[in-house]
Each structure stands twice: as structure tokens, then as C-alpha cells.
Structure 1
Amino acid sequence: MSMNIGLDMMGGDLAPLEAVKGVQLYLKEVTNPATLWLVGDESKIRPLLQEYAIPEGAVRVVHSSQVIGMHEHPTKALKEKQQSSIAIGFHLLATGKMDAFISAGNTGAMLVGALYSLKPIDGIQRPTISTVIPKENGKTGVLLDVGLNSDCKAENLNQFATLGSLYAQHILGIGEPRVGLLNIGEEEGKGNILAQAAYPLLKENSHIHFIGNIEGRDLLLDKADVTVCEGFTGNVILKLAESLFDITRQHKTESEYFDRFDAEYYGGTPLLGVTKPVIIGHGISRSKSFLNMVKLAQKMLETDLLGKMKESFLS
């Protein structure tokens, strides 16, 4: 299966250098690499490709003359900067030239670009973004939504549970992922209006293995593999987890466990619920992040994760 994975070479604080170094790592490490489409300013990219000895046949360079800055208004920037690396990347993705697209650039522009140029999977009301949660026993879980949908309806959480479950199964290799609803108590009937309304829907969802409510203290323990919440709460948890990593570094605390809170370790987060793989990286992504994002895109394509998501929402 030949795969074409697009990489925004201008996205992120350390682009394009770290993106090129990530491409080099990927081509060294992966035995059956995809063809990488590198979208960005050719005059900046080509000298780096030579410097890092990237073989010409392994990549295709697509020139873009504009860059969307990290703090630009997403919709306005996409409209006004048609020649930006993000706009060109989504055009190539939407027209089928590329099978997946990755950027560590302006998150808002990536989300707006994905929602405008790709359709949500039939039946999905709102796409979502997730994060992986390192468990203290060495396992890994998924938390979603982590910031795309600050306010949600109960049905949104129910759909996130199905998407997160498929992701945990096919990408993290968890056989029958346990799904928990993040709440302020374990008993059914606890929580705010959203949690109370979501509980019965999750209980009846035949696509998932729902285990009930889980509390904040359970998140880092091996209680659930997939935890659902609305994006406001999820984003607070995500930022708190990132700060734990920073604090352990500042205090020079050696901990194999807290090392797994490093955003580099995972690369980026996929936008789940749209028809093609779109992966959004951290603004400070380094080479290892770019490597991991390309590997994630490849795994999503190889496992046909999006095909399996489509099937789940047909019934």
C-alpha cells in the first residue's frame, strides 16, 4: 500500500530545521516508509534536505510562499493566505494527492482547515481531539475531548467514547478498552447536567465497554483506558499534566514515569471524526515529535482506523 503523508515544514517555533531532522529520523527508522510530501518554502527546505542527506526519491517538495503565524486569526488567515503551507496541505489532502496531513503550526488554522476541507465522518456531530494519558503502571490511556469542544451535549460525549475506543483498540493495541465518564463521584446520577445525561447513553452504547464514572484521582491509575469529558475540563487536565513534566525538569526529579508526560514522547494529537488523518503537533515540536507524528499517521492509515470509525457510525 503506497502512502503519501504531508508535512507542514513551516509549522512550529523550530521549523523547518526540526521538521527536516524528524524526516531524517523517520527515513532511518522505518523499513517501509511512506512518501513524504514536504510543504513549505523551497528556498529554506532544499538546503536543509541536502545538509541532512535526505534522498530525493523519498520526499516531494511542494513550494508554499506564505506561512500562517502562530497567533493569526485562523479563519481570516486561511482565507487571505491561500499560498500558505497549511492551506496548500489541506488542498492536497482534500483532492486525494495526500492521504494524511501533519502540522505543528497554528492549531486553530489546522482545525478550521480540516473542518472546511474535509467532511466529518457521516453521523458524527463534532470531531474531537484527544491526548494520551500515561498510567502509573506503564500502560497508556486516552482522554477526550481536550479542547476542541468546550461545551458539549451528552450525545457528543457518547460519540467521543466510540471514537476514543476505536483509537485505543487500533492505535494503542488495547483489546477491549474500558470507557469511563469523568465525574465528581463514582455513583450513577452524580455530576452536572451533562454528566447525568451522558451516563445512560454510554451505558446503552453497544460499540463500547462502559465501566461507569471515574474521578480525577483515577485518571493516572489503571481504572479506564478511555476517559470522556467535555473539552473545557479535558484541556485543564492536559495543561496540568504538561506542567507536571515541566516541574519535574525544573526540580531535576529523575522519574521514568514523569518523563512520559513530555509532549515530544507522543508527537501530536489526531483530529478524530474527520474522513482523513489530520495530526496537530505542539508549537515547540522537535525532531522526535515530527518522527512520532509521521509514524502515527502511517499507523492510522495501515490499520484503516478511519474506515473502522465510518463503519461504527453507519449503524
Structure 2
Amino acid sequence: MKKIAVDAMGGDNAPQAIVEGVNQALAEFEDIEIELYGDETKIREYLTVSERVTIKHTDEKIDSDDEPAKAVRRKKKASMVLGAQAVKQKEAQALISAGNTGALLAAGLFVVGRIKGIDRPGLMSTLPTVDGSGFDMLDLGANAENTAHHLHQYAVLGSFYAENVRGLARPRVGLLNNGTEDTKGDPLRKEAYSLLAADASLNFVGNIEARELMNGAADVVVADGFTGNAVLKTMEGTGMSIVEVLKSAIKTGGAKAKLGAFFLKDSLYNLRDLMDYSSAGGAVLFGLKAPVVKCHGSSDAKSVYYTIKQVRTMLETDVISQLTEVFASEEE
């Protein structure tokens, strides 16, 4: 049985969306148990009773405007912190939260702890491509500044995840840069390129430009945290803007536009689904001693369900233990 700790109070739509997503996951997967951390009265309002779910009551939570590190240190009884402590103490195998991203990163690092040999765990998510296969990208904002050595480790981490969790044989690894030539980029990118090219264990395909990301140019894309976060937010904003522009054009375009939209309905739904990567799960703080996964702050029940499904796969493939062994052997 796989036991997952879930912060029921984190996110814009908590606890309703979190608990409803948990209900869906419990109905779908018979090999998981869920520990919900938060206000018991509010949680029970939405919870479907199951012998595989328990509630750990607490009135305290970390708010979106709390200073992350201070909140984790001072709010010892916060739902997110209690979940992280449960993972540390082996009472749960993984932690999911849609709450304050910085606080979750701090809880992951300071409470759960990083794998020996990994300097800086990276925030990684599976993002959409035109053909629907998707690509894994990190770091998406766990670290504002990185060295070339960090980027090399991200390539190893991302490749390991793509191979063991997503089932890709010899995943193609690309370095996000401002050109495809090996001479492009600032000193950080040039040094990282040399490290990646020299690592025979990686299927390194060279530099990748941002405009090629959704065309499936690589299965794993490596970036520093500042750049990766900017790219992620740009993709999110562009996707939402495209959908809103189409809606506006249909509403204001008169009868012809509405008739055209009727005949294109299936194609428009496919476009919406393509830009929605919630079915890939949440963003993994990869490189910790256990899975710690961040749902989007505005996650609905569907997103929470898919994040639980993602964590279940991580536990089923035992990817963290395998990763620990890899880095332990490298340390030796």
C-alpha cells in the first residue's frame, strides 16, 4: 500500500478541490492510502468516507503571502509542515501540496532532506508538445541562480525521471539556449554545454531554442531556475491568452463565427486539452529523499487527481531509491 500525505489547506480552492481530487484517486486506485492534513470540519464537508483515508487535524496553515523559510520554521503545526514531517518520519511516502511554493521547497529541503550527492534539487514538470508526448523541464524556479554543475545534475535528474517514470528509452536531453550552435550563450550555458556533451550516459542533443520546446525537440530540457520559471509562466500565459482570444472572436464574430465554431468544436477542444498540462501531474521537487510534488495554486479536483496518479507512479517505480543509489555510487 502506498501512503501519500496531502496538504488539504494549500491552494486557492482548498480544501474542496483537494479533497474532491482525493476522492477521485481513492475510487480509481485501490493500492493507495491518503493522509489529509488540515481543518477536519472543513475537510469532512467534501470527503467521501473511506477506510483508506485519514485526517490529521490542524488549525494552522501557511498562507500564500508568508515568507517561506520563516513560515516553515515558525508554523510547526501547519498542514504542509506536518505532512513533510510525516514523510521524514516514514509515516508517509510522499507529500503533495498546492500551497505556497517557496514554503514547500523549504519544507522539502529542511524537513524531508535532499539526496546525498545532489547539490540543489530542481523543480520539474512535464509540459505539453504539439504531438501530445510532452517534455520534462527543470529547473522551473527552485533556484534563482545556478552553476554549470547544477545544470549537469538537472540533466541527469530529468533523464532519470523521463526514463523511469515516463518510460522513455534513452530520453533526448537539450539545453535551453538562445541559439542551437554549440558556441551560443553566456559563460554558464557554454560551460554547461561542455559538461553535458562530455557525459556519455546522457543522450544529449545540444542546444534548444525556446520556440522549439513545444515541437518536441527534446524529451528533457535543462535551464537555470530563473530562465525556466520565466519560460513556464510565458507558456501558461500564452495558452490562456490563445483560448481567451478564440472565445472573444467567437462571441463577437456574429452568426458566421458561431457557425464556424460549431463545426470546429472538436478541434477547439483538442487545442484546449493540448495547452492544459494538468493531466501530467504537478511539479516535482526532484532530488529529495522522497517525492514532494507541487500542484498549481489554482488546481481543481482533476489536477489533484492526476498529481496523486503521478506520485503513485513514482512510488510504484521506486524512482527515488534508484536515484539515491546512482548518486551514492557516483560519490564513492
Name the structure 2 match of 1:46: 44
Q: Secondary structure at the match of 1:220?
A: helix
CA positional deviation for 1:312 = 2.4
**Between Structure 1 and Structure 2, how many residues are aligned?**
309
Tell me which amino acid in the other structure corresponds to 2:309.
Answer: K
Flag structure 2 segments of 5+ consecutive residues without an equivalent: 248-267
- Superposed CA RMSD in Å reads 1.4
1:206 paired to 2:205? no
The answer to whether the Cα contact below 8 Å between 1:268 and 1:280 also exists between their aligned partners in 2 is yes
Kindly name which structure, 1 or 2, has the bigger radius of gyration based on alpha carbons.
2
Aligned equivalent of 2:275: 261
Alpha-carbon distance between aligned partners in 1 of 2:226 and 2:85, rounded to the nearest angstrom:
30
Q: Is the 8 A contact 2:184 2:190 kept in 1?
A: yes
Partner SS state of residue 233, structure 1? helix
User: Distance between the aligned counterparts of 1:255 and 1:58, measured in 2?
Assistant: 35
Deviations 1:51-88 (A, max 9, x none): xx332x11011111201111111122222211110111
Question: What residue ranges of structure 1 are gaps of 5+ in the alignment?
Answer: none
Match of 1:152 in 2: 146
Counterparts of 1:155 and 1:222 in 2: how far apart (Å)? 25
Q: CA separation in 2, counterparts of 1:174 and 1:257?
A: 25
Aligned pairs (5 A) from 1:178-197:
178-197=172-191
Match for residue 276 of structure 1 among 286, 290, 301: 290
Residue 156 (structure 2) aligned to one of 162, 168, 179: 162
Q: C-alpha displacement at 1:263, in angstroms?
A: 4.8
TM-score, normalised with respect to structure 2: 0.89
- In 2: Cα distance, 1:48 partner to 1:305 partner: 32
Identity %: 38
In the aligned structure 2, how far is the partner of 1:79 from the partner of 1:122? 23
Distance (Å, rounded) in 2 between the aligned partners of 1:223 and 1:267: 21
Compute the TM-score of the two structures, normalised by the length of structure 1: 0.94
Q: How does 1:234-245 map to 2 (within 5 A)?
A: 234-245=228-239
Matches within 5 A, 1:83-122: 83-122=77-116
> Are the counterparts in 2 of residues 245 and 259 from structure 1 also a CA contact under 8 Å?
no
Question: Secondary structure at 2:275's aligned position in 1?
Answer: coil
Residues 19-98 of structure 1 aligned to structure 2 (within 5 Å): 19-30=18-29, 32-49=30-47, 53-55=48-50, 57-98=51-92
Partner SS, residue 38 of structure 1: strand
- Does the 8 Å CA contact 2:112/2:290 hold for their aligned counterparts? yes
CA distance in 1, matches of 2:73, 2:277: 30
Q: Work out the CA distance in 2 between the residues paired with 1:226 and 1:152.
A: 18
Confirm or deny: 8 A CA contact 2:10 2:100 kept in the other structure. Answer: yes
Quick one: which amino acid aligns to residue 48 of structure 1? Y
Aligned counterpart, 1:4: 3
Is the Cα contact below 8 Å between 1:248 and 1:258 reproduced in 2?
no
